[in-house]
Amino acid sequence: MFGILVVAYLFLGGAGAGAIVLACLVDLAWVREPFGMRARPSFDEARPSERIVAFGLLVGLAAVALGALCLMFDLGRPDRLDALLTSAVPSLIVVGAYAVALLVACAAFLTAVRFAYVPAVPRAAVVVVEVAAAVSGSVVMLYTGLLLQSAVGVALWRTPLVPVLFALSSLSCGIAVLLACARFAGPLDACAARLARRFARADLAIVALEAACAALFAGLALASDHPARAASAESLVAGAHAALWWVGFAGCGLVAPFALEAASARMRPDLARATLAVAAVLVLVGGFCLRASVVDAGGHRALELEETSDAFALRLE
């Protein structure tokens, strides 16, 4: 049903949106990077924490834009995307398209004012755009899961646990992007080091919630009376897609990062920084494997089971 380009869009859109949302929230609540005539004359003089935010926005923008390109190529015709943006009929797809477009525009502005010194832009304008980016990015994080949940004829995806699971994964991937950016932001001062430790602690909680949500999603699907949903879940946890689910998602995306992030709290700063960078890479691998396994397990279900069960449900109604 959905190919690799759609999986790439779901991953890149979710991870990029998560990185942009978190970068904006961190700047609004913690960093408060100066702008306007009183700001420093160039990005070279930015503090390490400001560099983390700037690089996070840049990487997030690149990921969302690349994800949008993957979706365009999957549609096959660019005019279809134009039709979505100009449609007068409200729908989930139209809302998602506008959210992605707004997020790209906001992130492009926020990236430009950081990497190209623009003294005419006041801090108040940056705050307004950061709030808009955080809101539109949150919509995109939810939308990537809602897109699957709204798909007709795929029982495995028809549960609110899918958008919740994808949103949690997007947040975790967003933290991973910022932790990776911290690795390349130059020497960290005390403020940036504290920020990295807070990212790691926050990700420990998110990974735990993600694991609980994934277990509930798989368990309810396996116990479902809907034969197609149960068959898809069986394929996910013990069939053709089990390697992606257990090794890629559970192992690389949950267990290993949790252990590394927990252990980093007891390491010396330089070793902790390298450890968190490794954990960030594993989180991103797990985020992709989550989407690939869930999409493939639902998309390659037994069609006759779906049709039989749906017809039976219609007769009961």
Residues 6+ away with beta carbon under 8 Å from 276: 179, 182, 183, 196, 199, 200, 260, 261, 264
What mean pLDDT do residues 48-52 have? 93
CATH for 4-316 (3.30.360.10, 2.40.50.140, 1.10.10.10, 1.20.1630.10): 1.20.1630.10
**For residue 311, pLDDT beyond 70:** no
Q: What confidence category does residue 39 fall into, taking pLDDT thresholds of 50, 70 and 90?
A: confident
Tokens for 133?
Answer: 């980016």
Domain boundaries, the chain: 4-316
Q: Taking a C-beta distance cutoff of 8 angstroms, is the pair 2, 295 a contact?
A: yes
**For residue 248, pLDDT beyond 50:** yes
pLDDT tens-digit profile of 184-195?
887 888 888 999
**For residue 168, pLDDT beyond 60:** yes
What mean pLDDT do residues 291-316 have? 61
43-52, 120-129, 221-230, 282-291, range with greatest mean pLDDT: 282-291
Q: How far is CA 127 from CA 39, 123, 133, in A?
A: 15, 6, 10
Name the DSSP class of 45.
G
Residue 278 CA to residue 203 CA, distance in Å, equals 14
Q: What confidence category does residue 304 fall into, taking pLDDT thresholds of 50, 70 and 90?
A: very low
